[in-house]
């Protein structure tokens, strides 16, 4: 069995077109990325996953604007989706959504998934073509926290006999920037202890707005450049304007491969 999906991340959408983020239109950037996906690989992917920070400042208006941008139907969806997007060249295309540290969990549930009961952390799984997707929530703050309920959920989920892909917002490994690497959970070693020796095809993260790929304890770990601005890998915060990325992930015979696409704005 084989299939592909797309990862996008960190959109930081504003409630209105006129509201810019440090002079940058995050809404224009996301629309351009979605158009590129639809035109180039939309027919080759089964679904899309956004790994969080959907909006810049969480409000009901911001999430309503996000839904309107995607022309997304959410009347029958429960977390993490899919929502069905009909915008920028897509027609009823399934999209799964994870919350990031910029996402208020109450607004996230109320506006995007009104059929689901809000929870402080969104830890859950879904299965696609024999692969278990484990969605983990490290909390609503910039610095990740290895909450006991999240770790227990991860351990229980990995009792499944299915191969797993783990998706999350926060990063797990240093990328070479002091202020970004400080966001890693102090007790992240507990995570690595739980996943050791498990049948995990890959781990996909957002948060640091940077594309990277590492092998940690035999497990591929992937980060992705934001659809909005990126960061310079230095010790102090500095945003920069570089083309957004999205990632095409293909699973064939339980082997995972990926390809990065760069989008000119």
* pLDDT per residue rounded down to tens, the chain (265 residues): 799 999 999 999 999 999 998 889 999 999 999 999 999 998 999 999 999 999 999 999 999 999 999 999 887 789 999 999 999 999 999 999 999 999 999 999 999 999 999 999 999 999 999 999 999 999 999 999 999 999 999 999 999 999 999 999 999 999 999 999 999 999 999 999 999 999 999 999 999 999 999 999 999 999 999 999 999 999 999 989 999 999 999 999 999 999 999 999 9
Task: Give residue 200's pLDDT.
Answer: 98
Contact call for residues 150 and 158 (beta carbons, < 8 A): no
CA distances from 53 to 105, 169, 192 (A): 11, 8, 24
Task: Supply 185's token pair.
Answer: 């959970």
3-class SS of residue 105: helix
Q: What is the largest CA-CA distance in the chain?
A: 50
Which residues 6+ apart lie within 8 Å of 237 measured at CB? 179, 231
Answer CATH for 2-262 from 3.90.1150.10, 3.60.21.10, 3.40.50.300, 1.10.510.10: 3.60.21.10
The pLDDT value recorded for residue 258 is 98
Is the dihedral angle over the CA atoms 158, 163, 168, 174 positive or is it negative?
positive
Q: Where are the domains of the chain?
A: 2-262
């Amino acid at each position: 069995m084989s299939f592909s999906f797309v990862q996008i991340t960190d959109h930081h959408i504003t409630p209105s077109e006129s509201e810019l983020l440090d002079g940058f239109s995050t809404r224009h950037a996301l629309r351009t990325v979605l158009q590129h996906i639809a035109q180039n690989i939309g027919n080759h992917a089964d679904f899309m996953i956004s790994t969080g920070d959907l909006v810049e400042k969480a409000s009901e208006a911001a999430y309503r604007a996000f839904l309107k941008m995607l022309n997304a139907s959410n009347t029958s969806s429960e977390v993490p989706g899919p929502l069905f997007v009909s915008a920028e060249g897509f027609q009823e295309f399934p999209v799964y959504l994870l919350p990031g540290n910029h996402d208020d969990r109450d607004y996230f549930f109320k506006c995007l998934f009104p059929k689901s009961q809000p929870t402080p952390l969104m830890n859950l799984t879904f299965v696609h073509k024999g692969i278990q997707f484990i969605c983990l929530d490290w909390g609503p703050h910039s610095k990740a926290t290895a909450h006991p309920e999240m770790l227990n959920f991860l351990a229980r989920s990995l009792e499944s006999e299915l191969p797993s892909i783990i998706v999350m917002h926060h990063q797990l490994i240093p990328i070479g920037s002091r202020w970004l690497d400080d966001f890693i959970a102090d007790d992240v070693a507990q995570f690595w202890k739980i996943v050791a020796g498990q049948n995990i095809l890959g781990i996909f993260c957002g948060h640091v707005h940077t594309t990277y790929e590492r092998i940690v304890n035999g497990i591929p770990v992937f980060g992705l450049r934001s659809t909005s601005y990126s960061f310079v890998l230095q010790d102090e915060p500095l945003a920069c304007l570089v083309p957004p990325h999205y990632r095409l992930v293909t699973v064939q015979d339980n082997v995972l491969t990926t390809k990065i696409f760069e989008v000119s704005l």
